[in-house]
Structures are given as C-alpha cells and as structure tokens.
Amino acid sequence: MTPQQKTLAIVEAALDKKAYDLVVLQAEHLSSIADYFVIATGRSDVQVQSICRGIEERMDREAARPLSIEGYNLGYWVVLDYNDVVVHIFYEPIREVYRLETNWTDAQRVALPEPFQSRAREQSVSA
C-alpha cells in the first residue's frame, strides 16, 4: 500500500466515524518521521476513541498495523503511527490548544479527492 493509499484509507475510516476538521498535510520534504500527517477532531473522548478504533479496523483489513498508538486511554489526543502516515486525533478543546497544522507551515495541505472532500466539508459544517 502506498503512503497516498494508506492516507486515503485512514481519511475514509475517520470520516466514517464522523471525524471533522480533517486536515491532511504532506510532509515528506520536511520530516523523516512521515510522508503524511492526518489531523482530525472528535466531539468527545469517546468519539476520539471510536475514530481511532475505526482507523485501526480499516487498516487491519489492509494488512497495515500501527507501529505505536499513544493516548488512547484518555481519548484527548491519540497518535497512531503507521510509519509513513502519522495520525493525530484530538478531542476538540485539546486541538484548539495545540493546532498542529499551524506548526508545520511549510507542509503542503493535501486537497482531498471527491467524495472525501465533500464529506469532510459537511461534517465540519455540522460541528
């Protein structure tokens, strides 16, 4: 699975669990940590955990296992490391504090293909 395919599978799984304020950053030229960062928000700690589980289940079907998962028990900021794609799932108040996408100003925002872009926009509007 290419990093792009992995990223889109993660995005789809997050959107299926009603994640919103979803941002994908291409960072391969900035960091040796990952090619892509996916950042998403949940409305509660339980939803953050649900988004995480949804991503894990989807990636299991793709035979991709995370190298590590951090923060799941509290559900405020969960990080899933899929080697070339790192996923940050925030509980809304915590995301407002850190706003990771503003730290990586040189990273390019990735425009999501349809239908992901429309779904992400709809879920952000209803938030």
CATH at residue 69: 3.30.460.10
CA–CA distance, 36 with 51 (Å, rounded to integer): 18
- AA letter at 68: S
- CA 9 to chain CA mean position, Å: 10
User: Which neighbouring-strand residues pair with 9?
Assistant: none
pLDDT for the residue numbered 58: 98
Q: Is residue 46 in some structural domain? A: yes
Q: Closest Cα to residue 11, out of 103, 127, 93, 114?
A: 114
Strand duo 36-42 + 68-70: pairing:
unpaired
To the question of pTM greater than 0.85 for the whole model, the response is: yes
Q: Is residue 45 in some structural domain? A: yes
pLDDT for the residue numbered 69: 97
Q: Is residue 121 in some structural domain? A: no
Consecutive 10-residue averages of pLDDT for the chain (127 residues)? 95 96 85 87 97 98 96 97 96 92 81 84 73
pLDDT for the residue numbered 41: 96
Residue 27 belongs to domain spanning: 3-116
Contact status, residue 70 vs residue 52, Cβ threshold 8 Å: no
Q: Is residue 124 in some structural domain? A: no
pLDDT for the residue numbered 127: 58
Q: Is residue 84 in some structural domain? A: yes
Q: Is residue 49 in some structural domain? A: yes
Q: Is residue 39 in some structural domain? A: yes
pLDDT for the residue numbered 11: 97
pLDDT for the residue numbered 89: 98
Number of domains composing the chain: 1
